[in-house]
Amino acid sequence: MGKLSLFDRRRRRVRTALKARAGGRPRLSVHRSGRHMYAQIIDDAEGRTVAAASTLVKGAKGPGANVEAAAKVGKDLAAAAKKAGVTAVVFDRGGFLFHGRVKALADAAREGGLEF
């Protein structure tokens, strides 16, 4: 196994700590690229995605790489989670710092009714 980048080391550290205190709750995983935001709720026990949302939706106007778009993804994900019967999750920020778009997504998901 080669040397891990700082980002990958941070992602592993965050995920390991998360799984230790998840208590069987599904994981809200966030990915941020230069152009888009992606979020999904994953049930690690079954290894399947329960709900997902991203800025790739058809008809989305404007850039997907801003705080407003991230907040919309958070709201959409909370709605999809509610439909799937999920209310409590653990937030997996991956290797990303909790500010800007990642924070906007988390705050919108909380407003939408997800607990974490």
Q: What is the CATH number of the domain that holds 68?
A: 3.30.420.100
- The pLDDT tens digits for 49-102 are 999 999 997 766 677 789 999 999 999 999 999 999 999 999 999 999 999 999
Token reading at 13 = 């550290």
Question: Kind of pairing, strands 48-54 and 90-92?
Answer: unpaired
Q: Tell me the CA distances in angstroms from 85 to 40, 50, 82, 88, one per residue in order.
A: 14, 9, 5, 10
Give the single-character DSSP code of 111.
H
**Domain extent for 53:** 32-111
* Distance separating alpha carbons of residues 11 and 103, to the nearest angstrom: 16
- The pLDDT tens digits for 58-67 are 766 677 789 9
Q: Classify residue 25: in a domain, yes or no.
A: no
Find where tokens 């329960």 sit: 50
Say what angle helices 101-111 and 67-84 make with each other, to 10 degrees.
40
| Positive or negative torsion for Cα 5, 1, 28, 64 | positive
Please report, rounded to a whole number, the percentage of residues in the chain having pLDDT higher than 70. Answer: 95
By the 8 A CB rule, do 37 and 101 touch? Answer: yes
Q: Classify residue 17: in a domain, yes or no.
A: no
- pLDDT value at position 78? 97
Q: Strand, coil or helix: what is 18?
A: helix
Domain tally for the chain? 1
Q: Classify residue 90: in a domain, yes or no.
A: yes
